[in-house]
Amino acid sequence: MFKSFSMELAGRTLTVDVGRVAAQANGAALMHYGETVVLSTATASEKPREGIDFFPLSVEYEEKLYAVGKIPGGFNKREGKASENAILTSRVIDRPMRPLFPKDYRNDVTLNNLVLSVDPDCSPELTAMLGSAIATAISDIPFDGPCATTQVGLVNGEFVFNPNAEQKSISDLQLTVASTSEKVIMIEAGANEVPEDKMIEAIFAAHELNQKVIEFINKIVAECGKQKHAYESCAIPEELFAAMKEIVTPQEMEEAVFTDVKQVREENIRIIRDKFNEAFAEKEEWLSLIDEALYQYQKKTVRKMILKDQKRPDGRAVDEIRKLSAEIDIIPRVHGSGMFTRGQTQICTITTLAPLSDAQRIDGLDEAEKSKRYMHHYNFPSYSVGETKPSRGPGRREIGHGALAEKALIPVLPSEEEFPYAIRTVSETFESNGSTSQASICASTLSLMAAGVPIKKPVAGISTGLVTGDTDDEYIVLTDIQGLEDFFGDMDFKVAGTHDGITAIQMDIKIHGLTRPIIEEAIRKTKEARTFILNEVLIPTIDKPREEVGKYAPKIVQIQVDPAKISEIIGQKGKTINKIIEETGVKIDITDDGKVSICGIDATGIERAKEIILAIVTDIEAGQVMTGKVVRIMQFGAFVELAPNKDGLIHISKLSKERVNKVEDVVNIGDVVTVKVIEVDKMGRINLSMRDLTE
């Protein structure tokens, strides 16, 4: 039966239609927010997938260009693979919802969000987040929801909830917060150095608004919700755990995992696994469960060590950062390089500079085509964790980590006017044992400064973890978590920023949310840790950006010309501009507003191109001193090209103070000479002199 529900949300109407479409899905909600429309569905398989030890959740966010009245570009005219925005949106939907499904649930679940219409002032991403939560809550799929999501902007010091397009463009904060009725379950933020106290205030203002949305969702569930279906539990039998503890005692397991060398720990666990496989060789029903049971045995051991004994696997104090080091210029010929090492996590970032025309063009669900001047790419090869598998290109994790680092660094980048370059940083993971995304931010700061990018301030990133007990008050927050603490802990709370404030946050959790004291302590500890990294490692390695870009980087000069003169620079069918490029070896980009960027490696060529362009757009007047090329010689003098289609004559008598019998005695075709403009007559003819330069 079709039912429709509405509420006012941040000044716009949110409408949810249930039973109108997609009736064969386990749950479906047709979402309307303003004129944005998204179909959100939740489906689950009837039986669990065999042979897996994880919950197989897939989240899809499908961008269709018809939603904004566009036909896809290219030959195929059909949407291809998911855009980076679609992948990042899918991750933001996944992160708060995954912990709310039962831990022993192994049925395949797919949350699909199809964007049908886009109102620029009503975020389709937010609409999809709410839609997935509603579709799952009203379905028969086991789910400990509902949850709700709010976006927060900061405009002129005031919070704006679910900001429209104009507000987003001037906001100092792009914060997304998901909540259950009790706790915060997901935080994602990009910020312009927002202070910690202000960020906490924004998080809980969003959490408060989420409660109103959850009340609305509960009404929908009360009227339309299906009874949750029973499922086949994949929990490990307690008898197996008991048998394992007889073979390897908790004390022996603690000794196996208590080391700061990842390879040693893995070898210890391999030996234990072999013991279990040998001991249970005749119990077929247990053999397939050994890996998952061993994982959980390790997890219980590590969590007990940390929570009860405040003892970390590598022996560190709870707020202690692993050994740090940093280097720059480790790779020759690239435009900039920096390497940052934290324990067994090591990232090398390479910076490449290029003209603004090399900025990335993005054809997405916006009214106008976007371009991205700064690009951060993150790679995670298998050798970084001692594994072997072929490279298949970046996955969702790599794209997500790259986007997080990009978000963290954008607030400190110089403007196009200050630094007219497109900038690409690539973070290569050389070694990984926890929080490579934050290490990539540190390495990128070093690399950018080494490349001569005049960033406003250095940025550092760090991650905190969490181990909780039986009550909300029983927990411990860990600074700088390594891989084991991430795997077995409850939280990965990543925060990046400068000395003055936060530039990015990403929070992943495995439990049903965080209380305010936990969030406040995590933010405080990341502030302390990143301050230490900045003061003790990054700034001592390179205290400020280099004054100039490196010798292998392109040099760019910008000049402003009258837009009406652009056609003269380009010339008929591009002949003029191509001639300048051929002569000087530079690359020239011109914007519609008359901004001309001249890019090249050779400073002489750049300066010559600048002179030619200025000569084209400037009316030549008597008294000017100019440089030009001799293009034709006559008995009475030499013609000099001052600019395309602007030639002047040096009469033989004006070539030198001395008597000249033959023009070729002073100049030849192809010579570049400096001349003074003597006269521009009524016919527009230009008379030049070399003799009068010193007068």
Structure tokens at 245: 């503890």
- CATH number belonging to domain 620-695: 2.40.50.140
Per residue in 238-286, pLDDT tens?
Answer: 888 888 998 999 898 988 888 878 888 889 999 999 999 888 888 877 8
**Positions of E strands within 383-512:** 422-431, 460-468, 475-479, 491-497, 502-509
644 touches 570 (CB < 8 A): no
pLDDT at 289: 84
- Distance of alpha carbon 513 from alpha carbon 204, whole angstroms: 13
Question: Domain 324-541 belongs to what topology?
Answer: Ribosomal Protein S5; domain 2 (3.30.230)
Residue 108 annotated as lining a ligand binding site: no
Cα–Cα distance measured from residue 389 to residue 654, given in angstroms and rounded to the nearest whole number: 74
Positions of the chain with pLDDT under 50: none
* pLDDT tens by residue, 586-642: 999 998 889 999 999 988 899 989 988 988 888 888 888 988 899 999 999 999 998
Question: Looking at domain 238-309, which of 2.40.50, 3.10.580, 1.10.3470, 1.10.10 is its CATH number?
Answer: 1.10.10
Nearby residues of 247 by Cβ (< 8 Å), 6 or more positions away = 275, 276, 279
- Give residue limits of the domains in the chain: 3-148+196-224, 238-309, 324-541, 620-695
Query: What is the reported pLDDT for 367?
Result: 56
**Which burial class, exposed, middle or buried, applies to 132 when counting CB atoms under 10 A from its CB (0-12, 13-18, 19+)?**
buried
pTM for this structure? 0.88
* Identical fold between 3-148+196-224 and 324-541: yes
C-alpha–C-alpha distance, residues 206 and 191, integer Å: 16
Q: What whole-number distance in Å separates Cα of residue 561 and Cα of residue 107?
A: 64
To the question of whether residue 492 is assigned a binding role by annotation, the answer is yes
Amino acid at 363: D
Superfamily of domain 3-148+196-224: GHMP Kinase, N-terminal domain (3.30.230.70)
